Structure 1
Amino acid sequence: MSLLRVSPLAGLLSAALLLTGCFNEADKTPQQSVDQRLRLAMLQPPRSGLTPLSDDAFKLSRWSTAETLVVLDKMGEAKPALATNWQQTGDNRWRFELRPEVKFHDGSALDAATVVNALTVAAQAAPKPRILDGVQLTAEADGQLAVIVTTAQPDPLLPQRLSSPQLAILSKKAYSADGTVNPRHTGSGPFELVQVNGTSSARLERFAGYWGKQAKASGIDVSFVPDGTARGAALRTGSADIVEAIPVSQAPLLDQRLIHEVPMPRTNTLYLNTKSGVMQDAALRAAVRDAINRQQLVDNVYEKRADVAQGLLGPALPWAAELRQPVSDPVTAAKPAGETITLATFSDRAELPEVAVYLAQQLTAAGFTVNQVVREYSQIESDALAGKFDAFILSRATVLDSGDPVAYMYSDFACKGSFNIAQLCRPEIDQALQKAAAIPAGNARREAIMRAENLILSTDAAIPILHERVIQGEAADIRDAVRDPRERTLINAATQRVSQAG
């Protein structure tokens, strides 16, 4: 099947038209300022209709429209949200007490039955939300305002797991018989999602019945702007108040007072296909490992706004470097003899195609023949997961779900992991991850995590390149936008636009 090719100019014009439609002059009227609406430009459009069972859940949490039973603090500790407290009542059982007098946007009340319904739908979904990879979970009511959550195996991090936006609690009206989940008018956060215009925009309004402090902004106007140049222009021209993920190439063109670097638990990693193609050969994977010049990528592509990777887990987890041990007896690299590699990545993150160009040059210099494939993420994810590429460059959040990297490692590197692009299956890695997962939070768990990382790195199935910092744009009159390394919150009840006159 032939692919439709769109010129860079056409893409830029499309992005400009999108901005014109979503950030028009009417947004700058005095009335709009009085209304205190926030204009937000986001990187990726919804991929799954904004169902919380997918990665779209993180949009719902960044808009503060869908809430979870618990949230995580900066240290990754579980704190109350829709649940006020909890305790472990058995090896496999936890009891969560629910916050009273919480109303959903449709007017219904939070109760145990609602929570049981939401968690049961997530546990029985196909595919499951990533946070539930390898977890069998059931929930039952314990009176009106308490829930018992039981897991097939002991899960010492269950509260942290339930903080994942993919396990947000929506009202019963959100869940239909055909398995779809609609977050419109069904969340419980300070902002109510009232309108979604496909993959172009969304609109939220302040929810007057919120159980916590009222939102200072009257609403949020969201536009999905995949083009990085267009997002940078939105901040520069004042068309957007808050801009997500400004490309490093755009940062020097902007007022430096308006951009903020947030260290991310996000690693730019090269995944190599261990199941089919030339990368089945461990010695050729080692040759790829030795050919990569990480510093060149940090300096030239990321303009020094990133950190060279020493492992899968970066400086956002400061304990990782302290506990990391070098791989013992690394595989000796073979001498490439022109073997062809299909190197793929996606264009949604503006730096990745440029990373691919540099990697292709480095691998060609090492003796490989490299073919490149670049598409939008929505058009390439299924092929990557199916193992159709020899190598795939991915910008991957390493503690996105539970605040703990075990879930990410299981998803990406366990035999049954749902995001196993490397097609990796090693019993010793599965065993190490299972052991780490069984240990309560603390130093012993961290040490077990780093032993698992060491085993993964020894396969050269995933070659960490660099750790990213996200660049967030905020207009001069914006106050209290959230700079969250976990990318869970961006706008909350305190976020507001302050009158220039004030």
Structure 2
Amino acid sequence: MRWRQGRLRDWLCAASVALAACALPAQELRIGLASNPGTVDPHFYNNDAVSAVVSHAYETLVALDPDTRLVPALATSWRAVDDRTWEFKLRDGVKFHDGSSLSAEDVLFSLDRPAAIANSPSSFATYTRSITGKKAIDRLTVQLTTAAPAPLLPNDLTRIFIVSKKAAEKASTDDFNQVKVDAGTGPFRLVKFSPGASVQFARYDGYWGAKPAWSALTLRMLPADAARMSALLSGDVQLVENVQANLVAQFRQNKDLSVFDKVSSRVMFLYTDHRDSSPFVTDKEGRPLARNPLKDARVRHAISKLIDRKVLAERVLDRLAVPTANIAAPGMFGFNPKLEPEPADVAGARRLLAQAGYPEGFGLTLFGPNDRYINDEQVVQAIGQMLTRGGIATRVQVSPMSTYVGRASKKELGFGLLGWGVGGGEPSGAMRGLLGTPDREKGMGATNWSSYASPQFDALLTEALRTVDDRKREQLLQDAAEQALAKDFAIIPLYHQVATWAGRKGIAFVPRVDEFTLAYQVRPD
């Protein structure tokens, strides 16, 4: 159902009056999600929306705290035995939901499974490619060897969920989605997955760690902002993520609500097509071009100059964004302070287009999702207008993320908006996936929708990925970012989101840099 803004405001005012009278169920938590994950197989799709959901039932060896610092999870400790060997000590007494005990064999199986999954839109195998050998030293000790020094292996393993080999060895992704598999160790166990509607969990009373405050959990998929906000105010859910941007200030003033926020590590950017020909790139009359303008770095630089990031952050996103020219967020390891967001410069952009051979511009279609990120459809529309004013006649097409990502990941679109959560405490993983020359064996370029390929960038990133010295590695990452983003304009960073959540009175929540909405970090207040 489509709500007009005025109608929604009227409804919100009426609903807020009744809000305080609604009783808060002590045993059940209902959360409204802005995303619509298409699977609960923890190894099928390397996507934050999926990972956030399955994190309730599955765990990793190493975890990230709300500020993306590494903390123990299923591994109590880890150490570098030598330059090419890591050893992980497993937590004793951990039981899977199927009743089996966590052992080194489950870890070895879980590290192998992602590479065995066919047709993954974005494979988790990118995080295990550096591993050339693995063995169980004993029931609770695993050693992993790499072909070259891999200082970031513990960071990479924050992305690989551990499943019960006994439960999952013969299971397909469909079996996971139909909840025929009980293979996790997390604080909740899956009960039911209704694609496009909800995921239901029950508290796992055999959990090794602190028990959640809630005996039952329902994650409702409510990608439409109005529906999600309405569900909060009507009492259908007690917490929502991605508060509708124009309602954040109003919610802060509502005594019956609490708003939680944090500058996110998610970088929003435009991917650009570096191939010889690109779909949906034409002359201004819609005719095919002999060569692809986006292949020219001057054209990509011109596009960057045409975008007014300040307008996007302050007006389109209601100040829920911080303009950027980096992948890493400010303060994060690897952030390059020399890369500053360009101010809008239409005249400069037109000069670059003329130098590249397009003095009159060209035609372009800009794609994006309309249900995944803060005001994503409005952002895409605004960028389309900015490019058109600069001489690039831009058509805009938006669609639900579930449809959009399928086409974009197959490189059917060529130019569009995407967001990426920069996890693991530094940007190397994101840079490897988004900007590395695609190479399945090396685990590079799994989400390189731009088809960017730069020997200079690859050499810098590869060196960073095997450099143990933090100071040297950070400099290499900064140099790699400068090459890809300030020289090649491989992708066009726009801003980092400010993540927001709102909860009913009596709800306490710990906001996270990675934007994950985790029910075990929600407690009655």
TM-score normalised by the chain length of structure 2: 0.82
SS at match of 1:270: strand
4+ runs of 1 displaced by more than 6 Å?
A: none
Distance 2:134 2:241 in 1: 36
> Which residue of the partner structure matches residue 433 of structure 2?
411
Kindly indicate whether residue 303 of structure 2 is the aligned counterpart of residue 274 of structure 1: no
> Which residue of the partner structure matches residue 260 of structure 1?
260
Kindly indicate whether residue 523 of structure 2 is the aligned counterpart of residue 462 of structure 1: no
> Which residue of the partner structure matches residue 328 of structure 2?
313
Contact kept in structure 2, 1:478 and 1:495, CA below 8 Å: yes
Distance 2:174 2:294 in 1: 38
Distance 1:265 1:143 in 2: 37
Contact kept in structure 1, 2:114 and 2:125, CA below 8 Å: no
> Which residue of the partner structure matches residue 497 of structure 1?
524
User: Identical aligned pairs, as a percentage?
Assistant: 26
Kindly indicate whether residue 437 of structure 2 is the aligned counterpart of residue 381 of structure 1: no
Q: Which amino acid in structure 2 is aligned with residue 58 of structure 1?
A: S
Q: CA deviation at 1:311?
A: 2.3
Kindly indicate whether residue 79 of structure 2 is the aligned counterpart of residue 59 of structure 1: no
Q: Decide which moves more: 422-431 or 184-193.
A: 184-193
Contact kept in structure 1, 2:327 and 2:335, CA below 8 Å: no
SS at match of 2:335: helix
TM-score normalised by the chain length of structure 1: 0.85
Kindly indicate whether residue 154 of structure 2 is the aligned counterpart of residue 140 of structure 1: no
Contact kept in structure 2, 1:185 and 1:194, CA below 8 Å: no
Kindly indicate whether residue 210 of structure 2 is the aligned counterpart of residue 213 of structure 1: yes
Distance 1:292 1:217 in 2: 45
Point out where structure 2 has 5 or more consecutive residues left out of the alignment.
Answer: 8-17, 278-291, 343-347, 439-444
| Cα 1:497/1:325, change in 2 over 3 Å | closer
Q: Decide which moves more: 86-95 or 316-325.
A: 316-325
Contact kept in structure 1, 2:434 and 2:447, CA below 8 Å: yes
Q: Which amino acid in structure 1 is aligned with residue 386 of structure 2?
A: Q
Kindly indicate whether residue 369 of structure 2 is the aligned counterpart of residue 346 of structure 1: yes
Kindly indicate whether residue 499 of structure 2 is the aligned counterpart of residue 476 of structure 1: no
> Which residue of the partner structure matches residue 389 of structure 2?
365
Contact kept in structure 1, 2:132 and 2:146, CA below 8 Å: yes
Q: Which amino acid in structure 2 is aligned with residue 346 of structure 1?
A: P
Contact kept in structure 1, 2:62 and 2:74, CA below 8 Å: yes
Point out where structure 1 has 5 or more consecutive residues left out of the alignment.
Answer: 1-6, 14-24
Q: CA deviation at 1:76?
A: 4.3
Distance 1:482 1:496 in 2: 9
Distance 1:70 1:145 in 2: 15
Kindly indicate whether residue 225 of structure 2 is the aligned counterpart of residue 228 of structure 1: yes
Contact kept in structure 2, 1:290 and 1:333, CA below 8 Å: no
Distance 1:222 1:178 in 2: 23
Q: Which amino acid in structure 2 is aligned with residue 263 of structure 1?
A: V
| Cα 1:57/1:403, change in 2 over 3 Å | farther
Matches within 5 A, 1:440-459: 440=468, 442-457=470-485, 458-459=487-488
Q: Which amino acid in structure 2 is aligned with residue 265 of structure 1?
A: S
Contact kept in structure 1, 2:336 and 2:481, CA below 8 Å: no
Q: Decide which moves more: 333-342 or 67-76.
A: 67-76
Q: Summarize deviations over 1:460-488 as a string: whole Å, max 9, x none.
A: 22111111111111211112x23111234
Contact kept in structure 2, 1:137 and 1:150, CA below 8 Å: yes
Contact kept in structure 1, 2:105 and 2:165, CA below 8 Å: no
> Which residue of the partner structure matches residue 41 of structure 1?
32
Contact kept in structure 2, 1:37 and 1:218, CA below 8 Å: yes
Q: Which amino acid in structure 2 is aligned with residue 445 of structure 1?
A: R
Q: Decide which moves more: 292-301 or 251-260.
A: 251-260
Q: CA deviation at 1:450?
A: 0.9
Distance 1:382 1:138 in 2: 33
Query: Matched residue pairs, number?
Result: 467
Contact kept in structure 1, 2:366 and 2:395, CA below 8 Å: yes
Contact kept in structure 2, 1:123 and 1:137, CA below 8 Å: no
Distance 1:261 1:489 in 2: 12
Q: CA deviation at 1:372?
A: 1.1
| Cα 1:382/1:213, change in 2 over 3 Å | closer
> Which residue of the partner structure matches residue 334 of structure 1?
353
Picking from 91, 96, 102, the partner of 2:94 is 102
SS at match of 2:420: strand
Kindly indicate whether residue 109 of structure 2 is the aligned counterpart of residue 114 of structure 1: no
| Cα 1:120/1:205, change in 2 over 3 Å | same
Distance 1:213 1:177 in 2: 29
Q: Decide which moves more: 185-194 or 386-395.
A: 386-395
Q: Summarize deviations over 1:328-349 as a string: whole Å, max 9, x none.
A: xx99712341400111101113
Q: Which amino acid in structure 1 is aligned with residue 523 of structure 2?
A: Q
Distance 1:294 1:29 in 2: 41
Contact kept in structure 2, 1:94 and 1:148, CA below 8 Å: yes
Distance 1:137 1:120 in 2: 11
SS at match of 1:304: coil
